[in-house]
Amino acid sequence: MRVVAIVGTAVLFFVMGLALGGSELGGGLGKQAANLAGRATSAALETVAERGDIDTRELVLLENPRVLATVAKIGGFGGEFSRAVAMNMFSRLPEAIEDAREKSRIVELGPRSYLLRLPIVNAVFFDTDVGGVLVDTGMGPAGPAILDLIRSVSDKPLNTIIYTHGHVDHAYGTWAIMEAGETPEIIAHADLPRRFERYFKLRGSIAQYMSQPEGQLPLGPDDVVWPTRTFHDRLELEIGGETFVLQHHRGETDDQLYVWVPGRGALASADYYQGFLPNAGNGKRVQRHVEDWAVALREMADLEPKILLPAHGEGSTDTAQIQRDFRRLAEAFESIAQQTIDGLNRGLRKDEVVRNVKLPEHLANDHKLREHYVSVQDVAKMVVKQYTGWWDDWPSHWTPTDSITLSRSVIEEMGGMERFSERTREIMQTDLRLASQYADWAFEADRTDPLAQELVIDVYRERILDPNCRTQEALAYIDAMTAARQAQIDAARLR
């Protein structure tokens, strides 16, 4: 059985964009959904999966079309979806490159100031009198598309590349530009090289959490294009008689920066702003810096930008709206951080701290702060993580019994797997969160038990269908369903 953990990220970007991408992504999403629906009507899906024609995640989605439809409504990054790119973000595969080329376009938001709309993410291009300034280079397959878009508006050499941070969707398309013979200076924050090095060191872990083929992740220094110049706090460049200000503030990453071009009133805002409650509480990622993020947002709002060139979603030329959106997101982050710190200082247990955090009423219903990707509580968890240790304040969790022993003991006390499964299904009707914990125990106790396998699939299907489910947790639930479905397939092969 070929099981490749890549569809998870494809689903993430496959479903994200309705909120920011509008009908642009919606059309692509509809075609993809139709494709899956067509395949779902074919007979003997499990036989197809056993043969290796589809991986188990895709099988789960084919068998659960309501899951796909529900996740499609959760929220988005904007930009046209490319399955080939999303499933191969670190790669240089020809099919991914061609799809990126087909689904990329360039938008002029101000004189010689362009937003490069790539699959899933944006890059920014400024044409100057002495050559181009490119802010970010997309994912690996997007490099050639970026070069094509630049050449459609300028034949000058590329003077400078700026990495806003070292994530795969911002700094991995540079190879194509260098192979084309360009020789730009490449500038990044001083912490970016450490991010590249962490990708080498934790290759397997990052592949798993990002749902990418491990073989495509960089092995070492020769597999990335390094900055030729780094800085720490602030750097001002003079390029073609214009000033470019690079300002660092920790936010989604510790190496993030924004680019301000005062002569144009143009702001390349990186990942600081995304049009919804952004990726500040992702449980699969390293530390986010919520308070510093708020500082950056207020600072950018005070610049009074005339042109917003974000790394995700559509640009804007409405200064008042840009300022409002940035300041309200900053206020939301400040409120979450302060409530979390106050709870810690009151001596509340960490789960109690997080549970009590809520946005102020005047922010709670703001569409630009909607909780599609992560929740307010997820962001609070990240603040807790920043300021405290790994212990969750439960005494028994300092040196706990192992999870298998605990799970088997709980099920035995309940009267065995059959009774435990029945009781869990009863609980599903009133408390899906509790039922999820029970399902985890069942699967941990005996992954070969058909009742446990079916329970996991059914419980987490319902969790995804719950209107309160967010993108990141939905992907984790798909992981759980996939593991249980794979256990079923393995058992069928042995029969």
Which ranges in 365-431 belong to alpha helices (H)?
376-387, 403-414, 417-428
Task: Give the sign of the dihedral formed by CA 71, CA 73, CA 75, CA 80.
Answer: positive
> Average pLDDT over the chain, rounded to whole?
90
The strands making up 122-128's β-sheet, listed across from edge to edge, are 105-110, 113-117, 122-128, 131-135, 158-162, 185-189, 229-231
In this prediction the pTM is 0.89
* Residue type at 130 in one-letter notation: V
103-271: CATH class: alpha beta
For the chain, the residue count is 495
- Contacts of residue 125, defined as CB under 8 A and 6 or more positions apart, other chains included, come to 106, 113, 114, 116, 132, 133, 134, 135, 149, 150, 153, 154
The strands making up 242-248's β-sheet, listed across from edge to edge, are 234-239, 242-248, 257-261, 266-268, 307-309
pLDDT at 17: 35
Q: Which ranges in the chain are annotated with CATH 3.60.15.30?
A: 103-271
d(CA 17, CA 75): 6
Q: Which of 102, 116, 187 is nearest to 150 (CA)?
A: 116
Longest pairwise C-alpha distance within the chain? 78
pLDDT in tens, 277-303: 999 999 999 999 999 999 999 999 999
pLDDT in tens, 13-48: 444 333 333 333 333 444 444 454 444 444 445 565
d(CA 165, CA 247): 12
Asked if 233 and 26 touch (Cβ cutoff 8 Å), the reply is no
Chain centroid to Cα 246, Å, comes to 24
pLDDT at 372: 84
d(CA 422, CA 417): 8
pLDDT in tens, 336-378: 999 999 999 999 999 999 999 999 999 999 999 999 889 999 9
Structure tokens, 85: 């790119």
* Helix/strand/coil percentages in the chain, nearest 5: 50, 10, 35
Q: What pLDDT band is residue 260 in, cutting at 50, 70 and 90?
A: very high
